[in-house]
């Protein structure tokens, strides 16, 4: 009975995640959703900025705290370890849904494109989401979103964890999922003040979180192999390591 409940909980968390993820595409792209980043009634500017930063901070705090190994260890004292990842996914999705619900539009236009440029930016927008989606499969989509864990628990198998991945997109940058998000957020044919605030804050959060939180943890968990990987593969800007090597070499040539 307990195993079935764990299974149902994990599946429910995954379904809510899928809804939140798909809604994100419509929310950021102003496509086919009832409430998007630029829709709704506008409030005074300062009020909107404060509410929107507050909403993004709730997501950032939930995401940062719950992803730390110490927190994961602590929470596993109170819940079945098999649902730790599902719980993280569920709360992240709820924080996202809260952003969509309470987001205050700020519709002053920062840039606007049309014709071929607008089309190109729309293509890049979808490519960004595609990079996110494909990258999750390169690590292990079902483990990342807690389904493997609840299945292993159901089958009385030992819990496994995602293996360190350095292939496919992970050969080009160390954080393709985050790169995909950054691409999708910036590639806006029409950029409003609200969308820009969202994009600047999330980009800053992503860069800080991967440098000071995620990579610190990965170095502790994986060790030397991750340090080597950091030397060889750029963090988020594809092919930037080659530029760095050339830069370091050039003074010697002169």
Ligand X SMILES: C[S@@+](CC[C@H](N)C(=O)[O-])C[C@H]1O[C@@H](n2cnc3c(N)ncnc32)[C@H](O)[C@@H]1O
Q: Report the distance separating Cα 92 and Cα 187, nearest Å.
A: 24
Give the phi and the psi of residue 110 in degrees, each rounded to 5.
-95, -45
Concatenate the DSSP letters of all residues of 197-216 into one string.
HHHHHHHHHHHHHIIIIIHH
Q: Where on the phi/psi map is residue 168: left (φ > 0), alpha (ψ -120 to 50), or beta? A: left
For ligand X, the closer CB: 39 or 165: 165
Q: Which of 129, 170, 185, 198 binds ligand X (CB under 6 A)?
A: 170
Smallest gap from residue 22 Cβ to ligand X (A): 17
Stretch that binds ligand X, among 33-41, 115-123, 163-171, 194-202 (CB under 6 A): 163-171
State the binding string over 30-69 for ligand X (x if CB under 6 A, else -).
Answer: ----------------------------------------
Spell out the residues 6+ positions from residue 216 whose beta carbon is closer than 8 angstroms to its own. Answer: none
For ligand X, the closer CB: 64 or 113: 64
Q: Which of 56, 188, 197, 210 binds ligand X (CB under 6 A)?
A: 210
Strand partners, 112: 190
Smallest gap from residue 26 Cβ to ligand X (A): 21
Residue with tokens 């494109």: 113
Q: Which of 74, 111, 137, 164 binds ligand X (CB under 6 A)?
A: 164
Smallest gap from residue 174 Cβ to ligand X (A): 6
Neighbour tally for 51: CB within 10 Å: 14
Strand ranges for 67-126 from DSSP E? 109-112
For ligand X, the closer CB: 36 or 185: 185
**Interaction between residue 86 and ligand X (CB under 6 A):** no
**Interaction between residue 145 and ligand X (CB under 6 A):** no
Q: Report the distance separating Cα 155 and Cα 159, nearest Å.
A: 10
Q: Which of 36, 135, 192, 202 binds ligand X (CB under 6 A)?
A: 135
Q: Which of 20, 147, 175, 192 binds ligand X (CB under 6 A)?
A: 175
Helix axes 45-66, 84-102, angle to 10 degrees: 180
Strand ranges for 60-210 from DSSP E? 109-112, 190-192
**Binding positions for ligand X, rule: CB under 6 A:** 135, 139, 162, 164-165, 170, 175-178, 210, 214, 218
């Amino acid at each position: 009975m307990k195993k079935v409940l764990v299974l149902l909980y994990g599946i429910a968390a995954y379904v809510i995640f899928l809804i939140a993820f798909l809604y994100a595409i419509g929310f950021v792209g102003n496509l086919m959703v009832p409430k998007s980043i630029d829709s709704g009634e506008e409030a005074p500017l300062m009020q909107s900025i404060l509410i929107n930063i507050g909403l993004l901070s709730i997501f950032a705090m939930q995401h940062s705290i719950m992803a730390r190994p110490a927190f994961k260890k602590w929470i596993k004292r109170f819940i079945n370890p098999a649902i730790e990842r599902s719980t993280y996914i569920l709360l992240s999705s709820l924080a996202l849904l809260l952003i969509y619900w309470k987001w205050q539009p700020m519709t002053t236009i920062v840039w606007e494109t049309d014709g071929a440029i607008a089309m190109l930016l729309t293509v890049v927008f979808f490519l960004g989401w595609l990079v996110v989606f494909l990258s999750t499969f390169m690590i292990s989509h079902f483990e990342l979103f807690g389904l493997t864990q609840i299945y292993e628990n159901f089958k009385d198998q030992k819990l496994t964890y995602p293996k360190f991945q350095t292939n496919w997109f992970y050969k080009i940058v160390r954080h393709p999922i985050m790169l995909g998000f950054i691409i999708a957020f910036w590639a806006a044919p029409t950029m409003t003040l609200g969308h820009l605030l969202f994009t600047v804050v999330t980009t800053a959060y992503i860069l800080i979180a991967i440098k000071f939180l995620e990579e610190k943890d990965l170095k502790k968990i994986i060790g030397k192999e991750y340090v080597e990987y950091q030397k060889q593969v750029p963090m988020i800007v594809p092919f930037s390591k080659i530029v760095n090597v050339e830069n370091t070499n050039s003074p010697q040539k002169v």
